[in-house]
Amino acid sequence: MHESEGIVLFYPHVPRKAKEYISETLDSRWIGQGPKVDRFERAFQAKFSPAVPCVAVGAGTDALHLAYLLAGIGPGDEVLTPLFTCAATNIPLLHIGATIRFIDADPRTLNISIADLKAKISERTKAIICVHYGGLPCDLGAIRAIASEYGVPVIEDAAQALGGAYNGVPIGAASDFAIFSFQAIKHVTTGNGGMLTFRRPELEEKARRLRWFGIDRVRKQKGIWENDIVEVGFKYEMTDIEAAIGLAGLEEFDEIIAFRRSLYRRYVENLKNVAHITIVDDFNPLKAHAAWLFSILVERRMDCQLKLRGRGIESGQVHFRNDRYSIFGCSEEFPSMDSIDDNYLVLPLHTRMSLADVDLICDVLKEGW
């Protein structure tokens, strides 16, 4: 990083060919949803979800809303969902009118607690939502076994987990539903975009209709104007300008994730034996971490942040437990989240950093605060 900036918490990765591909798009007939969106979907599918339909949308939140609707979640349906996540995971459930039942966090990973999931699932449950916090996969084997027992779908919010894997299978490739985010600071960005994937190919036409007001665009583009709208859709499409950036990002993805994982490993090497720091990771060999965030647990978190800030290093919480937002109206207790609520801290991890930057951050932390 530039010395005057210090080491910032996040920095967007703009791929080398992004400007070239955007310029080509601006000189073409299509700048809204057009052929580049189709190309982006095919390229994403080939790389991450070869046997699963992929539908590009305007944001990861759009993808979540569509996933919930396609899963059949309706007003009053009970959904088990993470307490600790970006509010975007759960806000679409409020729009639907579903009944949200929060699951406590596992303090080792900040993913959902399997014990609390087992305690709260019931015949009323319509779906299970899981979030791979920071890129660390959830315990998908256990989650899918519980879901199978009750006959409900698993919806993976993989906004932070592109490139991660569980038991050798890419995140999202074997899911009932999964969503990915291409928001500004994700591994691959389109400025603001998302992708919806799902295992049931018969849902693809409906997903594409819902993405565009409920209109069958294929029929419309053939000049057939009599086609009816029979379901209420949304304006959730991705544009070709966004897809152009995304295509450039996919070309660099292997390089991006390899570099981010090298930073993550360097943090682990430096901090794994530091007495006053706990790394948020269970180091399960079944899990391939996507290395979007590097998080630790510390005592006197504010003092730690001030120490880092004094050395030009940003840090932060990034996410906030959703039960504390008034919109969710939750008064339940969550003892595991309570136990680490004042301790979790996210450290910088992005492609504008170097291994030397990680070493510097770790040296500052080792000094104490």
Of the three residues 233, 251, 269, the one that is the final residue of a domain is 251
pLDDT-based confidence at 229, cuts 50/70/90?
confident
Q: What is the pLDDT of residue 66?
A: 98
Q: Is residue 339 located within the same domain as residue 242?
A: no
Kindly tell me the sign of the dihedral angle through the C-alpha atoms of 39, 41, 43, 45: negative
Q: Is 360 exposed, middle or buried (0-12, 13-18, 19+ CB in 10 A)?
A: middle
Average pLDDT over residues 151-160: 98
Residue 9 lies in a domain: no
- Among residues 153, 207, 202, 156, the alpha carbon closest in space to that of 180 is found at 156
Of the three residues 232, 251, 270, the one that is the final residue of a domain is 251
Average pLDDT over residues 296-318: 98
| Ordered DSSP codes for 101-122 | EEEPBPTTTSSB-HHHHHHH--
| Helix, strand, coil % over all residues of the chain, rounded to 5 | 40, 20, 45
**Contact assessment for residue 90 and residue 42, using Cβ atoms and an 8 Å cutoff:** no
Give the number of domains in the chain. 2
Average pLDDT over residues 31-49: 96
Residue 295 lies in a domain: yes
pLDDT-based confidence at 226, cuts 50/70/90?
low
**Contact assessment for residue 58 and residue 193, using Cβ atoms and an 8 Å cutoff:** yes
Taking each helix axis from N to C terminus, what angle separates 60-70 and 204-211, rounded to the nearest 10 degrees?
Answer: 130
Per residue in 52-86, pLDDT (tens digit) is 999 999 999 999 999 999 999 999 999 999 999 99
Q: Residue 262, Cβ neighbours under 10 Å: how many?
A: 13
Residue 315 exposure: Cα atoms within 13 Å on the Cβ side: 27
Q: What is the pLDDT of residue 3?
A: 52
pLDDT-based confidence at 175, cuts 50/70/90?
confident
Give the span between the Cα atoms of 137 and 73, in whole angstroms: 24
Give the span between the Cα atoms of 166 and 229, in whole angstroms: 40
Per residue in 135-155, pLDDT (tens digit) is 999 999 999 999 999 999 999
Residue 53 is encoded by which pair of tokens? 């339909």
**How much of the chain, in percent, has pLDDT values that exceed 90?**
92
Alpha helices in 10-120 (DSSP H): 18-26, 35-48, 60-70, 91-96, 114-120
Q: What is the pLDDT of residue 119?
A: 98
- Among residues 144, 82, 129, 141, the alpha carbon closest in space to that of 109 is found at 82
Average pLDDT over the chain, rounded to an integer: 95
Of the three residues 251, 266, 299, the one that is the final residue of a domain is 251
Q: Is residue 337 located within the same domain as residue 238?
A: no
Q: Is residue 277 located within the same domain as residue 189?
A: no
**Contact assessment for residue 195 and residue 171, using Cβ atoms and an 8 Å cutoff:** no
**Contact assessment for residue 153 and residue 127, using Cβ atoms and an 8 Å cutoff:** yes
* Alpha-carbon distances of 159 from 249, 258, 348, rounded to whole Å: 16, 18, 18
Domain that holds residue 335: 253-366
Q: Is residue 242 located within the same domain as residue 283?
A: no
Q: Is residue 200 located within the same domain as residue 304?
A: no
**Contact assessment for residue 221 and residue 212, using Cβ atoms and an 8 Å cutoff:** no
Residue 148 lies in a domain: yes
Q: Is 46 exposed, middle or buried (0-12, 13-18, 19+ CB in 10 A)?
A: exposed
Q: What is the pLDDT of residue 88?
A: 97
Q: Is residue 83 located within the same domain as residue 204?
A: yes
What CATH number does residue 284 fall under?
Answer: 3.90.1150.10
Q: Is residue 108 located within the same domain as residue 208?
A: yes
